[in-house]
Amino acid sequence: MPIATVNPADGETLKTYEPMGEEELERRLQLAEATFRTYRLSSFTDRSRLLLQAANLLEEDQRDIARVMTTEMGKPIRQARAEAAKCAKAMRWYAERAEGLLADERPADADVEDSGATRALVRYRPLGPVLAVMPWNFPLWQVIRFAAPALMAGNVGLLKHASNVPQTALYLEDLFHRAGFTEGCFQTLLIGSGAVDEILRDERVKAATLTGSEPAGRAVASASGEMVKKTVLELGGSDPFVVMPSADLDRAARVAVTARVQNNGQSCIAAKRFIVHSDVYDAFAERFTEGMKALKVGDPLEEDTEVGPLASEQGRADIEELVADARRSGATVLCGGERPDWPGWYYPPTVLTGITREMRIHREEAFGPVATLYRAADLDEAVLIANDSPFGLSSNVWTQNEAEVDRFVRDLEAGGVFVNGMTASHPAFPFGGVKRSGYGRELSGHGIREFCNITTVWHGA
């Protein structure tokens, strides 16, 4: 895949970049290793000052970088500005809290005495250069939620971004440099996916994190496993959105529309499978379908656009194939289902019902604005349908019954359960999944400790 900015709203190639050669890549790896030797000794105060400056600069750049993101991958411009603001918020969160999150831990006095020590502690130390393989769908946020904690922990970052967002990738490197971080603290590697394996096997790279597809995750995990390197993987998701009879149906349906089409439906944590109790199925389906029909699809640079184009022509083709397969197997299309007759990689908000286990869309992630509706007879069947997926990233539950909430929290196979609200990531809460959605956690204290050497320090008499 070429490294290029191709505007998904019209298919025009705006900029192309040559991949880095071996000599430049080697220079950057050497620089990362050398920089880590000194950066790891920096104080939390110094790191915080630099990260806060990066947050300030990002806020100043918000409108410009939002336009770049929208031009590169098609998200509505208002959502792009919100993404930039969220990144600045996360940088401030880690800048202000990292020292406390990584403070030495003191075991109980009784345990210290029982171990034969005069004193003991647990210290969090940085690992070294960390490779981040990141996707295009949230081209700022996916990187910042890795970079902010990694840099505050004393690690240095190497970014291999998706090949269709090179301008955003280069902006990120420039942002950290302008903030005052030395050149080797954060570097963008303009390389194709074929070069990742060799970097993973380089002894100077100590760990890796990937957000992306399941095949990409398998490849990174395999290479890293052979080298016995730590990895964090956030892969696909096909999140359930369960609606029970006690739910506020009007609000649930409104939120369901946003949950499905956020980022043009190209989000791992977007709700994709809507599982509705039989008692309220018809009422919810009507409200939800009308809400999907009413969305404005169009130029993502226009302020009132709610759904823009998919990021690539292949992405649209993949969605079309999933819908066609479901139709052939008997699914009913309540709205959408046909690409519009205008330039760009647009696909309309679509609702399918009559889904069966044999359909591809039942077991594969639909990365676009396509929702599937399921009817559940009771809570038990709702849980069965929700868990009948290879993925387990997050989940949404709508009910006013606390006993039902307890059951869903106990039984849903997911890294998050959001009750009467839409799944969203926040720097204070751990983010990640189970099953084929990956392993490890980003964000919160859990995320900053993923790439630390958790060191026991024991003192004898």
Task: Give the number of other Cβ atoms within 10 Å of residue 59's Cβ.
Answer: 15
Selection from 11, 316, 269 nearest residue 324 by Cα: 316
Task: Express the helix, strand and coil content of the chain in percent, nearest 5 each.
Answer: 45, 20, 35
Torsion of CA 12, 15, 16, 21, to 10 degrees: -160
Selection from 19, 66, 357, 388 nearest residue 190 by Cα: 19
SS3 279: coil
Can 234 be counted among the known catalytic residues? yes
Is the CB of residue 262 less than 8 Å from the CB of residue 80? Answer: no
| Separation of alpha carbons 316 and 257, rounded Å | 19
| Separation of alpha carbons 314 and 128, rounded Å | 36
Identify residue 137 by its one-letter amino acid code.
Answer: N
> Is residue 374 within a helix (H) or strand (E), and if so which, with residue range?
strand 370-376
* CA dihedral for 113, 116, 118, 122, sign (positive or negative): negative
Identify residue 121 by its one-letter amino acid code.
Answer: L
Selection from 257, 58, 193, 349 nearest residue 68 by Cα: 58
SS3 344: coil
Burial state string for 255-284 with b = 16 or more CB within 10 A and e = fewer than 16: bbbebbbbbbbbbbbbbbbbbbbeebbeeb
SS3 453: strand
Can 335 be counted among the known catalytic residues? no
> Is residue 232 within a helix (H) or strand (E), and if so which, with residue range?
strand 230-234
| Separation of alpha carbons 117 and 210, rounded Å | 40
Q: Which residues contact 414 (CB under 8 A, 6 or more apart)?
A: 239, 240, 392, 393, 394, 395, 433, 434
Give one DSSP letter per residue of 111-153, joined into a string: HHHHTT-SEEEEEEEE-SEEEEE--SSSTTHHHHHHHHHHHHH
Catalytic residue among 268, 306, 364, 442: 268
Catalytic residue among 234, 364, 404, 450: 234
136 burial type by CB count under 10 A (0-12 exposed, 13-18 middle, 19+ buried): buried
**Catalytic residue positions?**
234, 268
